[in-house]
Chain A
Amino acid sequence: MNTLFDKIWDQHVVQQVEDGPTQLYIDRLYCHEVTSPQAFDGMRARGLKCFRPEKIYCMPDHNTPTHDQDKPIADPVSKTQVDTLARNAAEFGLTHYGMLSKDNGIIHVVGPEKGLSLPGMTIVCGDSHTSTHGAMGAVAFGIGTSEVEMVMASQCILQQKPKSMRISINGTLGKGVTAKDVALYLMAKLTTSGATGYFVEYAGDVVRNLSMEGRLTLCNLSIEMGARGGFIAPDETTFAYIKGREFAPKGDDWDKAVAYWKTLKSGDDAVFDKELSFDAADIEPRITYGTNPGMGIGITEAIPANGRMANSPEQNFQKALDYMGFKPGQKLLGTKVDYVFLGACTNGRIEDFRAFASIVKGRQKADDVIAWLVPGSWAVDAQIREEGLDKVLEAAGFAIRQPGCSACLAMNDDKIPAGKLSVSTSNRNFEGRQGPGARTILASPLVAAAAAVTGVITDPRTLL
């Protein structure tokens, strides 16, 4: 009761359906090319127009190649999906940031950086990482395609109200420990289903001291603990980030908005359905060793000796290690790495490129590592060049690719070959996620950079 989640949710209730879900008003719908075509088809079949087209923003990101974007997409099926989004957006009168537009990028990177995702909003997208936008102080969650169609048709969605959870992380993060490590730590503690049924509010000194980029990373990964969404109450850091962005309120509207946003916090008397608290001192740079994001360890630790210690049924634990080619009790420091991927809606922002560059500066990419560095948007790409990070990266033997989701889920041609080991800043290490047979270790940009220059799993603190 009286949590920030309750406040934002309650402000958007159109009606409570009798013995059923809530009809919730949605302020922003984002559409990408993969989970929207069947929704548009459904709208056509029902003869409907979008109820509030001005609240809907579309952009392709999953299928986009990360090179030669000025040429037609080579894969005809990917091309059709990307073209279909452009055609649907035009037909239904929606804003569309096409592949060649400087506005394009990964939807969860573009939304916040354009000021389209603002505190107090309800935000949805047919994508589980929509939780990212919670960093702005919004209630943001992923939905299925039928639900995308609901929002197109009515600007509303029918949902059961989730329970609320507060996760506080107090203390100070150690050297080389980032928001990504905090999230990987939480997933290991809670498992991939520990927050299912909940909306998470992140709090505590560590969260307050995170930059917006760090907060976006933390909220992005809420779904990997099973949470529908995660958010952070807006504060001066949030307001400073939003101010001046393309769709941010301007002039008098700005002052009014900030006055309202300042009210967006949980009351001192707020009661959460669940409260958890962690100490920053317990968190070191993290890596995963298994086939779900909850199967993670500190970089200096060993893989658990058995399933019970890994909080996983023995059958699942063994299946995961067989897939990864690892042994129970094995340490991963020094393990040879084939691929490094920096990017995705998790870690494709400017701060992630700064972190990566801080490690590779003055060093050289290991000869037998293939590295894909993919900015989250053209705006991130521009910032990289403005700050001269491109020069640092190029001097160290790295090339910057063009924006998109890329090897996070390998829907374009950025696929990790079967059997190869990838250190990836993305969000999922599921079997085949980065390509059939690909083996994924999830990690922060610092850990990825350390692997890229040494060719093996390396504690980045030894290179800082």
Chain B
Amino acid sequence: MLAVLVGYLGDFELAEESVAEAFAVAARRWPAEGTPASPVAWLVTTAKNRAIDRLRRDRVLAAKLRLLEATAQATVEAEVDESEIPDERLELIFTCCHPAIAVDAQVALTLRAVAGLATDDIARAFLVPGETMKRRLTRAKTKIRDAGIPFRVPEPGRLEERLAVVLAVIYLIFNQGYSAPGQAGHLAAEAIRLGRVLAALLPGQSEPRGLLALMLLHDARRAARLGGPGGQDLVLLADQDRGLWDWAQIAEAREILTPLAGRRGPYLIQAAIASLHAAVPADWRQIAALYAELAELTGSPVVRLNGAIAIAQAGAAGAALEIVDDLDLPGYQYWHSTRAELLRRLGRSGEALAAYRDALALAGTEPERRFLLGRIAELAGDGGTRSG
């Protein structure tokens, strides 16, 4: 319903307030007068009328008022069939994820307007005060109205590049939930829900389904990722209790991927890699080959880093280290920890120790810190007997 009102008005604040008022009126009148035959149509008409009343008081939007009056007249007179009310969720998603809006605001707006989460809930999940999140949302809505960000699905020529922005927002939401299960655990489920909605609304596009499969595969391992007392120990993929994986979810992800086997796209490839990771034994050569494809597509040094890990897993730690050393990622924690791991495997303990310490300095979560400290303790105990 919100989507339809935003579409008519181009103004989030006004749309939200009008919808809230319409619900309030319904709550007062329906118990006494009975529920109307088409409750959604009634609500939409009432919300539009409320919006018209507000706009009447605002001369700057006089032109918009003329448009609203024309449409409101028509709907009051006609019997509006509920099925005629357009599903404008896709327009809403693309508007929330418009590149002219700051990325953190795209994320907040999507969670607020598309997923329907409360502002305080979103604030807590991203570890910012409620007032900060409120301001962030208001600024974004004001920008949409004042800068004339259109409420529409991008035209075919622009769809793919705009879709990439939407997918990035959904994946950001997922990763927030994935990496901070305490505060933000439910965000992973929200992201998956958003992924399902997007995939259903864009059946002709394969990347939304790729992202959905990717999230399902990562999420399926959620119960096995953390161990130890208080769940503060990171469990590496190879050591995870596969009995704790959600195999139904893995199967669902694989079903999504199977008909898309011939297609290529960054999320599809990542999903294929994640699917291969779940197999035993893992086909590291195939995984490495997929990373190479992904690196070609995206030119991302982080992808090359992950590809090097696969090459190491396939048995070539020396070659992997050469690739890793060539990358320029001094601020990236996992570059240091990957170098450290490879150096460790090659018996170069002194250098490995230094690299683990660099990674520790950048580590962001408690489980990661504990893992790195553990490795450092092992090597420091061993350091006297090796050269490095």
A, B co-complexed: no
Q: Write the residues of chain B forming the contact surface with A, with a CB cutoff of 8 angstroms.
A: none
